[in-house]
């Protein structure tokens, strides 16, 4: 008993599993589940430091969140698992249904069944004195012009014509489904073989290492990137940044191979690695260009100084810039100290960049003016290597075309059956569309007049 | 600003259109429906002019930094009103079911009133991240999609009102009263489906252009921030709608409820995420 039923049971079981994975009910449930579960990650902040969760929700809740992987839910086993189930569902469904659709291509229904001829919503019946082949030729010519080239066949003494249009639209849904798999494949490729990283480069320096965004592990680029200059430009009369730019140079094997001024929304790519302008900040002490006039001689000296470092002047004097602000009440302002040859420090005084004559009035041994200053900055770059991104875009393209064909085009077919009937020819025409039937009915009504004219061998214009 | 004047006229026209549509349903005089549609069209034209003028004004105020008027919450809301009326008028051309206007024009009117009462209409320069053509493509496709969903939602509400009454109403005699003017339930159901068929590919494009932009600006096409995730939730919901309809025959009442749920999620994605949840997205409090 058991021997005979067991394999059957196993088959049943396999069938059940197969049906489960193929079922559209599962698709709808997964889609709704994905919608609902995705909400969690929009309410609960993702990947925040533990202390923040504990402060907000308490220790025990935090431990629960960690156990359920809510703190990084889009990478949790259950979310990824659901996406996996979604793909399996999609693949099974396509395997099951595709052969049926492929048959429309390989085995077109050249011969209309009596059911189609009798019951189709779009029909035309007529009789004519002309013989079958004459009619077939005229109708073929018309169909070729108006619809699609007709295939002629004969069965049981009847002559059949078949023409079709838009068969590709049967594949729109499959293209859409395939596109989802392609996008997922692209995402996986990017995750496995790519990385997201960042790096801060101080102006004038270079780096060949970047830091991964999660984990802060150093990654070797295999080449060097130098930042020659960084700039922020502002909108007129406002402190609103208009743009950030970095002059980047790529050095590979000791050669400068690429030069680009990047800005937000305009990155640089070299060897599959892309550098995006993302932030900036101050990197250490500013340095200055100062014009010093020896008042007794009128001697002018252009000197460089960096913050806090004494710079020697003639006669054993020296000066140092001890404080600086770029946004003082009178514009950029530096505090200068002059020390005498015996090492005593004098009273500090202000030098204003926007008022170069200002310091002459002080009447010291030297007068100073601030020609220029530079606050060294670092440019903050996001660095991404994503070999899957092209695959993702390909998937997106497929998705757009796929869903457009699935939604807005339909497979339309016309059958003609010509039958000898007591010296006359009986003509039956039927047509259908696999979607948008009302629209097709309108189009068919128009075609009907032309078909009538062709049957009566008149030009359609004369038909009222 | 001149454009402000035209936005005011637009609001008045949409208000007039809505009142006329209500009057049409109450009084059942088709002349009223004609004038209601005319008011909607007039509003649409002034809305278009206002958007165009605002575009021009941005160049006058910001010089070379002028830009299409699609960059802050105020501009997106008045553009949303424009897309709703555009989709509505296109559907009206095809279906000629005037009563539908009474359930769609309120969405456009709410948008205009909301924008003018609560939102900052200033033309400010853009932060660097927003200076991208992708932003324009992204906003246009998303909002055309949202607008189609708004029309679908309005039609679904009509469907639910009508089907409830129709089931109580026995016999073959045509229904009198207010509901007599509603399109037949079959037509309402079809309109719901058509509107979602238009909206879904547009939302798909909206998400893709958003991803392309993020990739260009930051090197990640998808980072699961709340705005992105909610747009995906909306997409999942309408995908479920389409499959339920194509293959499980979910039409009528269930389709109408799903459509309303979808639009509620859409509005949450658009406004709720910024008001309720924190996120990186740009249409913030400013
Ligand atoms: C979320 C993204 C999806 C989109 C945009 C989408 C799109 C579509 C469209 C437009 C159709 C209509 C096809 C037609 O009537 O000829 C369709 C049908 C279908 N979809 Fe999807 N689909 C998606 C996901 C899925 C998934 C995950 C499955 C997995 C089982 C699935 C299974 C089916 C099946 C079985 C049909 C019916 C096919 C037929 O009638 O030949 N879809 N889909």
CA distance A288 to chain B (A): 29
Interval A65-91 mean pLDDT: 90
CA atoms within 13 Å, Cβ hemisphere of A73: 22
B246 lines ligand 1 (CB under 6 A): yes
At B91-128, the pLDDT tens digits run 999 888 888 889 999 999 999 999 888 888 777 777 77
For residue B286, pLDDT over 70 is answered with no
Give me ligand 1 centre to Cα B135, in Å.
30
Q: Are A324 and A340 in contact (CB under 8 A)?
A: no
Residues forming beta bridges with residue A152, ordered by sequence position: A161
- Amino acid A182: pLDDT: 95
Q: Is B211 on the interface with A (CB under 8 A)?
A: yes
How much is the mean pLDDT over chain A? 86
- Under the banding of pLDDT at 50, 70 and 90, the label for residue B248 is low
* ipTM score assigned to the predicted complex: 0.86
Report the candidate in B206, B227, B69, B71 with the shortest Cα–Cα distance to residue B149: B206
Of B211, B219, B247, the CB nearest to A274: B219
Task: Give the integer Cα–Cα distance in Å for A125 and A118.
Answer: 10
Give me ligand 1 centre to Cα A176, in Å.
7
For residue B177, pLDDT over 70 is answered with no
Interface probe, candidates B221, B263, B275, chain A, greatest A C-beta count within 10 A: B221
Size of interface A-B (CB pairs under 8 A): 107
Interface probe, candidates B58, B67, B128, chain A, greatest A C-beta count within 10 A: B128
Task: Give the integer Cα–Cα distance in Å for B273 and B280.
Answer: 10
Task: Give the integer Cα–Cα distance in Å for B70 and A19.
Answer: 48
For residue A8, pLDDT over 70 is answered with no
Q: Are A78 and A69 in contact (CB under 8 A)?
A: yes
Residue A180: both structure tokens together: 């989802």
Interval B171-186 mean pLDDT: 71
Q: Is B196 on the interface with A (CB under 8 A)?
A: no
Interval A380-401 mean pLDDT: 93
- Amino acid A299: pLDDT: 87
Radius of gyration of chain A (CA): 40
- Under the banding of pLDDT at 50, 70 and 90, the label for residue A110 is confident
Q: Are A242 and A235 in contact (CB under 8 A)?
A: yes
A268 chain-B contacts, CB cut-off 8 A: none
Q: Are A147 and A463 in contact (CB under 8 A)?
A: no
Which helix (H) or strand (E) segment holds residue B55: the answer is: helix B30-62
Q: How many residues does chain B have?
A: 286
CB contact under 8 A, B226 and A274: no
Give, using CA atoms, the residue closest to atom 41 of ligand 1. A97
- Amino acid B182: pLDDT: 85
- Per cent of chain A over pLDDT 70 is 97
At A198-245, the pLDDT tens digits run 899 988 888 988 988 776 788 888 999 999 888 888 777 777 778 888
For residue B280, pLDDT over 50 is answered with no
User: CB within 8 A of A361, min separation 6: which ones?
Assistant: none
Interval B215-228 mean pLDDT: 88
- Per cent of chain B over pLDDT 90 is 45
Task: Give the integer Cα–Cα distance in Å for A10 and B92.
Answer: 57
Cβ count near A128 (within 10 Å): 17
- Under the banding of pLDDT at 50, 70 and 90, the label for residue A3 is very low
- Under the banding of pLDDT at 50, 70 and 90, the label for residue A1 is very low
φ and ψ of A69, to 5 deg? 60, 30
Q: Which residue has the higher pLDDT, A184 or A130?
A: A184
- Under the banding of pLDDT at 50, 70 and 90, the label for residue A175 is very high
DSSP A136-171: HHHHHHHHHHHT---EEEEETTEEEEEEEE-GGGGG
Q: Is B214 on the interface with A (CB under 8 A)?
A: no
Give me ligand 1 centre to Cα B238, in Å.
12
- Amino acid B281: pLDDT: 43
DSSP A68-121: TTGGGGGGSHHHHHHHHHHHHHHHHHHHHHHHHHHHHHHS---S--HHHHHH-S
Residue A192: both structure tokens together: 């496995």
For residue A464, pLDDT over 50 is answered with no
Give, using CA atoms, the residue closest to atom 8 of ligand 1. A173
Task: Give the integer Cα–Cα distance in Å for B146 and A85.
Answer: 29
User: CB within 8 A of B165, min separation 6: which ones?
Assistant: B175, B179
- Amino acid B283: pLDDT: 42
Sign of torsion, CA A218 A219 A224 A225? Answer: negative
- Amino acid B218: pLDDT: 83
Strand ranges (DSSP E) for chain B? none
- Amino acid B176: pLDDT: 62
CA distance A347 to chain B (A): 44
- Amino acid A7: pLDDT: 52
Instruction: Return the exposure string of A21-30: e unless at least 16 CB atoms fall within 10 Å of the residue's CB, then b.
Output: bbbeebbbeb
At B38-63, the pLDDT tens digits run 999 999 999 999 989 888 888 888 77
φ and ψ of B255, to 5 deg? -65, -40
CB contact under 8 A, B278 and A39: no
At A256-285, the pLDDT tens digits run 999 999 988 889 999 989 999 988 887 777
SS3 A280: strand
Q: Which residue has the higher pLDDT, B111 or B179?
A: B111
Q: pTM surpassing 0.90? A: no
**Least confident among A252-256, B70-74, B245-249:** B245-249
Interval A35-52 mean pLDDT: 85
Q: Which residue has the higher pLDDT, B64 or A399?
A: A399
Q: Which residue has the higher pLDDT, B149 or A422?
A: B149
**Least confident among A13-27, B28-42, B188-202:** A13-27
For residue A5, pLDDT over 60 is answered with no
A86 lines ligand 1 (CB under 6 A): yes
Residue A245: both structure tokens together: 């730019």
**Least confident among A151-160, A392-401, B10-19, B120-129:** B120-129
- Amino acid B174: pLDDT: 59
For residue B168, pLDDT over 80 is answered with no
User: CB within 8 A of A174, min separation 6: which ones?
Assistant: A94, A98, A101, A402
- SS3 breakdown of chain B: % helix, strand, coil, rounded to 5? 80, 0, 20
How much is the mean pLDDT over chain B? 86
Q: Is B224 on the interface with A (CB under 8 A)?
A: yes
DSSP A177-246: HHHHHHHHHHHHHHHHH-EEEEEEEETT-EEEEEEETTT--EEEEEEEEEEEEEEEEE-TTS--EEEEEE
**Least confident among A354-358, A404-408, B74-78, B265-269:** A354-358
Q: Which residue has the higher pLDDT, A330 or B259?
A: B259
Task: Give the integer Cα–Cα distance in Å for A453 and B271.
Answer: 59
- Under the banding of pLDDT at 50, 70 and 90, the label for residue A359 is confident
B247 lines ligand 1 (CB under 6 A): yes
Of B132, B216, B236, the CB nearest to A34: B236
For residue A460, pLDDT over 50 is answered with no
- Which residue from A minimizes the CA distance to B196? A407
A169 lines ligand 1 (CB under 6 A): no
Report the candidate in A74, A28, A396 with the shortest Cα–Cα distance to residue B203: A396
CB contact under 8 A, B201 and A267: no
Give me ligand 1 centre to Cα B249, in Å.
13
Q: How many residues does chain A have?
A: 464
Burial class (CB in 10 A: 0-12, 13-18, 19+), B243: middle
DSSP label of A314 = G
SS3 A260: strand
For residue B141, pLDDT over 90 is answered with yes
- Amino acid B106: pLDDT: 93
A399 lines ligand 1 (CB under 6 A): no
**Least confident among A356-365, A410-419, B120-129, B250-259:** B120-129
Mutate to test the pocket of ligand 1, among A94, A173, A408, A410 (most ligand atoms within 8 A of CB): A173
For residue A417, pLDDT over 60 is answered with yes
In angstroms, the first-to-last Cα distance of chain B is 20
Interval A38-49 mean pLDDT: 84
Residue with tokens 């996120």: B279
User: CB within 8 A of A110, min separation 6: which ones?
Assistant: A151, A153, A160, A162
CB contact under 8 A, B230 and A403: no
- Amino acid A457: pLDDT: 78
For residue A463, pLDDT over 50 is answered with no
Sign of torsion, CA A435 A35 B211 A235? Answer: positive
- Under the banding of pLDDT at 50, 70 and 90, the label for residue B285 is very low
Of A74, A276, A389, the CB nearest to B218: A276
């Amino acid at each position: 008993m058991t021997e005979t039923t067991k394999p059957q049971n196993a088959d049943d079981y396999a069938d059940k599993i197969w049906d489960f994975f193929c079922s559209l009910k599962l698709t709808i449930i997964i889609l709704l589940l994905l919608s609902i579960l995705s909400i969690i990650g929009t309410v609960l902040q993702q990947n925040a430091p533990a202390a923040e969760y504990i402060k907000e929700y308490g220790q025990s809740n935090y431990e629960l969140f960690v156990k359920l992987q809510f703190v990084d839910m889009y990478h949790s086993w259950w979310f990824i698992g659901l996406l996996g189930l979604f793909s399996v569902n999609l693949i099974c469904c396509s395997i099951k249904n595709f052969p049926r659709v492929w048959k429309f291509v390989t085995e077109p229904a050249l011969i209309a069944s009596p059911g189609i001829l009798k019951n189709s919503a779009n029909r035309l019946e007529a009789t004519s004195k002309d013989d079958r082949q004459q009619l077939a030729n005229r109708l073929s010519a018309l169909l070729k012009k108006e619809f699609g080239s007709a295939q002629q066949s004969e069965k049981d003494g009847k002559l059949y014509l078949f023409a079709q249009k838009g068969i590709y639209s049967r594949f729109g849904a499959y293209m859409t489904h395939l596109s989802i798999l392609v996008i997922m494949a692209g995402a996986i490729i990017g995750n496995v073989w790519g990385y997201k990283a960042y790096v801060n480069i101080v102006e004038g320096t270079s780096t060949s290492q970047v830091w991964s965004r999660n984990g802060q592990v150093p990654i070797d680029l295999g080449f060097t990137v130098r930042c020659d200059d960084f700039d922020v430009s502002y909108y007129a009369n406002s402190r609103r940044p208009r743009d950030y730019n970095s002059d980047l140079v790529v050095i590979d094997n000791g050669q400068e191979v690429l030069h680009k001024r990047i800005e937000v929304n305009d990155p640089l790519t070299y060897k599959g690695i892309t550098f995006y302008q993302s932030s900036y900040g101050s990197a250490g002490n500013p340095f200055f260009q100062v014009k010093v006039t020896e008042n007794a001689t009128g001697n002018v000296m252009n000197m460089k100084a960096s913050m806090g470092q004494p710079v020697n002047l003639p006669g054993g004097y020296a000066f140092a810039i001890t404080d600086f602000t770029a946004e003082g009440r009178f514009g950029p302002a530096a505090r200068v100290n002059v020390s005498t040859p015996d090492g005593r420090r004098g009273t500090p005084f202000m030098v204003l960049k926007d008022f170069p004559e200002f310091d002459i009035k002080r009447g010291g041994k030297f007068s100073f003016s601030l020609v220029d200053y530079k606050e060294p900055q670092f440019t903050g770059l996001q660095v991404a290597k994503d070999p899957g991104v092209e695959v993702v875009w390909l998937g997106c393209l497929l998705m757009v075309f796929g869903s457009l064909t699935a939604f807005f085009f339909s497979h339309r077919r016309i059958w003609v059956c010509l039958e000898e009937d007591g010296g006359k020819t009986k003509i039956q025409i039927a047509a259908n569309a696999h979607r948008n039937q009302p629209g097709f009915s309108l189009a068919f009504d128009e075609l009907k007049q032309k078909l009538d004219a062709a049957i009566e061998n008149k030009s359609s214009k004369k038909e009222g | 600003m001149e454009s402000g004047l035209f936005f005011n006229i637009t609001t008045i026209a949409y208000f007039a259109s809505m009142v006329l549509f209500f009057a049409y349903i109450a009084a059942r005089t088709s002349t009223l429906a004609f004038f209601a549609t005319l008011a909607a069209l007039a509003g649409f034209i002034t809305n278009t002019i206002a958007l165009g003028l605002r575009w021009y004004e941005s160049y006058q105020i910001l010089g070379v930094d002028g830009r299409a008027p699609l960059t802050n919450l105020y501009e997106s809301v008045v553009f949303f009103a424009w897309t709703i009326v555009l989709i509505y008028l296109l559907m009206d051309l095809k279906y000629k079911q005037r009563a539908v206007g009474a359930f769609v024009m309120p969405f456009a009117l709410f948008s205009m009133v909301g924008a003018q009462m609560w939102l900052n209409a200033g033309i400010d320069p853009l932060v660097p991240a927003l200076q991208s053509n992708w932003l324009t493509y992204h906003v246009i496709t998303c909002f055309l999609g949202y607008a189609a969903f708004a029309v679908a939602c309005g039609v679904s509400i009509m469907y639910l009102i009508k089907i409830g009454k129709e089931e109580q109403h026995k016999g073959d005699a045509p229904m009198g009263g207010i509901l007599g003017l509603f399109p037949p339930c079959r037509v309402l159901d079809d309109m719901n489906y058509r509107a979602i068929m238009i909206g879904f590919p547009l939302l798909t494009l909206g998400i893709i252009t958003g991803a392309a932009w993020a990739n260009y600006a930051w090197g990640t096409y998808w980072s699961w921030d709340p705005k992105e995730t909610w747009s995906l939730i909306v997409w999942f919901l309408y995908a479920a709608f389409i499959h339920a309809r194509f293959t499980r025959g979910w039409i009528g009442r269930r389709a109408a409820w799903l459509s309303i749920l979808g639009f509620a999620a859409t509005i949450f994605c658009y406004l709720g995420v910024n008001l309720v949840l924190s996120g990186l997205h740009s249409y913030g409090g400013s």
